[in-house]
Amino acid sequence: MAAGDIKTTNRDVPLDRVRNIGIIAHIDAGKTTTTERILFYTGKSYKIGDIDEGDTQMDWMAQERERGITIVSAATTTFWTVTDPNSPVGNESFRVNIIDTPGHVDFTAEVERSLRVLDGAVTVLDAEETVQSQTETVWRQADKYKVPRIIFVNKNDKLGANFEGTVKAIIERLGANPAVMAYPIGAEQSFRGVVLLLEKKALIWQGDETGAKFTEEEIPTDMAEVVEKWRAKLIEQICETDDTLLEKFLAGEEPTVPELKAAMRRAVIAYKLVPVYAGASLRNKGVQPMLDAIVEYLPSPVDIDHVKGVAPTTGETVFRKTVVEEPFSGLAFKIQTDPHVGRLTYVRIYSGKLSAGQSVWNASKQKEERISRMLLMHANKREEIDAAYAGEIVALVGLKEATTGNTLSDRSHPIILESITFPEPVISLAIEPKTKSDQEKMGYALNKLSDEDPTFKIKTNHETGQTIISGMGELHLEIIVDRMKREFSVEADTGAPQVAYKETIKKMAEGEGKYIRQSGGRGQYGHCYIRIEPQTRGVGYEFVDAIKSGAIPNEFIPAVEKGVREAMENGVLAGFPTVDMKVTLYDGTYHDVDSSEMAFKIAGSMAFQHTAKIADPVLIEPVMKVEVSTPNQFMGDVIGDLSSKRAQILGTDKRGHLTIINAYVPLAELSGYATKLRSLTQGRASYYMEPSHYEEVPRNIAEGIIAKSGKMAANG
């Protein structure tokens, strides 16, 4: 068997020896490099992949290799055995399912959906940059799904590496409780290994370029004091999570290493402690202790004892134990179009068993689907399997209806699991096919790509006939257009990126919509009164049916709501979607013969358009959280430039020879910012941005946008 094949003989390891983990971090912290080392040390690959060489296993897309970034999350399976006799989980072979996620904020959906189905995660930090903005974002995402984590402080060999400063930043910026398990020996150029604090062992990597071999040595004498300080702190932290150990500790007795490790495992799974390890993935140092920690401290599917869902028929809360004997349940978390096998649906199986050829019930869509084949994935390589069990992550072929977030279950025991929430797109652009032959292919390609990516939206502007695509950033849309060309052979022209403005209202208003049409024979009659009120920013839309005494028959009320929603899609100021409002339908009249769903839908639309115009409508725009890292001497120029872009400067931090500037900046002002920043700082500054919130557009700027849209509407 080739080293890169999945060892199917080991697939049948017990569930308590399976780990489903993700590698998450800020862009450029070293996620993919760390994953490549894991695959090499576990015998999964003969050769260590290198991002600069473009031969990594996990970044397999052409665009990923060209740009040196991760775009799609890639899944793989490997095996690892801990050799430590004190291990809290024994010295058997463990199966580790790994998902390597993107760090770039434009691909945040990949991180969100991965974290939803994982049992544990490894957060990679850069020892010089410490905790960066995207790290905070992915950390919050992991908090949302209550995912236990360990931290790997990478790049301890880098100029400016500061391990203790990074631990401090973990407390201050992530609000976590870090427990340092491995302390670095040396820093920057002199970094050569780690001290395992509990075991009081020094591991030194030298000579062997692959880092597969290391030696156990005595702790360097000049480190005795610092090791003792951190070890005492670690033991105290662990004992505080366990009453039995705390009694021993307070009585002046030190618990044994196996006792401490067993307590540490319980504390990590309960998210009381986050173990911290040190290393330098690119220099092949410190990865093996972190691999041990994945197996020793992160949970197995069995540790996450059950999964909670809702019975679709009754709405009652139901539970599924994560065992093979329970009825089947699973969550579809990713759709991918594979050129060789077609549409792949990635599923995390939470309970029961799944076999190729069987039918499953899509509880989210109330439809039955048939699985033709089942695959285990290793990045873009695949292996066919006949059956899969609770705790596994597999790719299914043959499902036509399932989309991201759908629950698949046993038809006689339906359940709907918690779905996955995704952020709204913030930027859009017009796209058109270059030739007539590209026309049909473009529609097909865009639909396939939006199937895969829940943050990628397509809309047709019926007035202009233009196709508008929307996403999380310019890079996101650039990659989509590039994929259309490479994967679907579609040539297309695109317009300049446009900011995804929205509209909302500032005050309450009431109004009516009346649609009466007589044209011989049966007429049309729909009449309704609505009240609209502003909601807190980001809350969204709410429809309330307050009709009394049958003023409008029940069967026409959904039609009114549909009319309101369609009108909200093209707001009253500049044609942008209207958001964050409560719409109450409180009165109306109907005609026994002439009333119809269509008439009430049109009446609902007219009521909204009339009422929104008198509710003080305003434009709102996406505001980005921006973090600029610049050498100190350029700080004034950078802040001055940001201020000219309507930025709200939040503050600055010093990090070594760099100043970190944090600000909120409207997305509309950030076009071409990368080039401007390079010219201001001789190419030495870098920046990162992520969507933060929506804010009202200043009146003078809003007037220009409204005039440009050609949809100037009177405010009442």
Q: pLDDT tens digits, residue range 185-225?
A: 998 888 989 999 999 999 998 755 666 678 888 888 999 99
Would 646 be classed as within a structural domain?
Answer: yes
Domain finish residue from 615, 646, 668 = 615
pLDDT at 266: 94
Residues 412 and 138: their CA atoms lie apart, in Å, by 37
Residues 32 and 181 in one domain: yes
155 annotated ligand binder: yes
Residues 540 and 586 in one domain: yes
Q: What are phi and psi of 467, to 5 degrees?
A: -95, 125
451 annotated ligand binder: no
Selection from 171, 184, 116, 122 nearest residue 151 by Cα? 122
How far from 702 is each of 603, 691, 712, CA to CA, in Å?
29, 20, 11
Considering its fold, how many domains does the chain have in total? Answer: 5
Residues 522 and 467 in one domain: no
Q: Which DSSP string do the residues of 97-153 spell out, in sequence order?
A: EEEE---SGGGHHHHHHHHHH-SEEEEEEETTTBS-HHHHHHHHHHHHTT--EEEEE
Residues 197 and 289 in one domain: yes
Q: Is this structure's pTM higher than 0.85?
A: no
Q: pLDDT tens digits, residue range 673-694?
A: 878 888 898 888 888 787 888 9
Residue 272 has pLDDT above 70, yes or no: yes
Number of Cβ within a 10 Å radius of residue 550: 8
Residues with Cβ within 8 Å of 258's Cβ and at least 6 positions away in sequence, in order, are 86, 88
**Mean pLDDT over residues 572-601, rounded?**
93
Number of Cβ within a 10 Å radius of residue 174: 21
Residues 164 and 127: their CA atoms lie apart, in Å, by 9
Would 231 be classed as within a structural domain?
Answer: no
**664: domain CATH number?**
3.30.70.240
507 annotated ligand binder: no
Q: pLDDT tens digits, residue range 24-54?
A: 887 777 767 887 788 788 765 444 444 444 4
How does strand 541-545 pair with strand 581-589?
A: parallel
Q: pLDDT tens digits, residue range 219-251?
A: 889 999 999 999 999 999 999 999 999 998 898
Residues 392 and 489 in one domain: no
Maximum CA extent, the chain = 101
Would 691 be classed as within a structural domain?
Answer: yes
Residues 78 and 39: their CA atoms lie apart, in Å, by 7
pLDDT at 464: 62
Distance between first and last Cα of the chain? 75
708 annotated ligand binder: no
How far from 589 is each of 146, 516, 527, 567, 603, CA to CA, in Å?
50, 12, 5, 21, 11
Would 270 be classed as within a structural domain?
Answer: no
154 annotated ligand binder: yes
Residues 594 and 633 in one domain: no
Residues 636 and 585 in one domain: no
Residues with Cβ within 8 Å of 153's Cβ and at least 6 positions away in sequence, in order, are 125, 127, 163, 166, 167, 184, 276, 277, 278, 279
**155: domain CATH number?**
3.40.50.300
For the chain, the average pLDDT equals 83
157 annotated ligand binder: yes
322 annotated ligand binder: no
Q: pLDDT tens digits, residue range 76-115?
A: 778 888 888 888 888 888 888 887 665 455 556 667 767 7
Residues 431 and 446: their CA atoms lie apart, in Å, by 10
**Whole domain around residue 516: which residue ranges?**
503-615
Would 354 be classed as within a structural domain?
Answer: yes
Q: Are 138 and 112 in contact (CB under 8 A)?
A: no
pLDDT at 716: 37
- Dihedral of CA 323/324/328/331: which sign? positive
Q: Are 88 and 265 in contact (CB under 8 A)?
A: yes
Would 2 be classed as within a structural domain?
Answer: no
**546: domain CATH number?**
3.30.230.10
Residues 75 and 163 in one domain: yes
**Mean pLDDT over residues 651-672, rounded?**
87
Coil vs helix vs strand at 479? helix
32 annotated ligand binder: yes
pLDDT greater at residue 67 or residue 489: 489
25 annotated ligand binder: yes
What residue has token string 């903005």?
A: 133
- Dihedral of CA 288/294/296/301: which sign? negative
303 annotated ligand binder: no
Residues 637 and 593 in one domain: no
pLDDT level of residue 72 (50, 70, 90 thresholds): very low
pLDDT at 637: 93
Q: Are 559 and 598 in contact (CB under 8 A)?
A: yes
pLDDT at 53: 42
Residues 604 and 634 in one domain: no
Residues 584 and 568: their CA atoms lie apart, in Å, by 14
591 annotated ligand binder: no
Domain finish residue from 388, 417, 446 = 417
**322: domain CATH number?**
2.40.30.10
162 annotated ligand binder: no
Would 253 be classed as within a structural domain?
Answer: no
Residues 452 and 508 in one domain: no
Would 51 be classed as within a structural domain?
Answer: yes
Residues 530 and 598 in one domain: yes
Coil vs helix vs strand at 233? helix
pLDDT at 298: 94
What is the H or E stretch that residue 503 is in? Answer: strand 502-505
**481: domain CATH number?**
3.30.70.870
Between helices 163-174 and 133-144, what is the axis angle to 10°? Answer: 50
27 annotated ligand binder: yes
Domain finish residue from 553, 581, 615 = 615
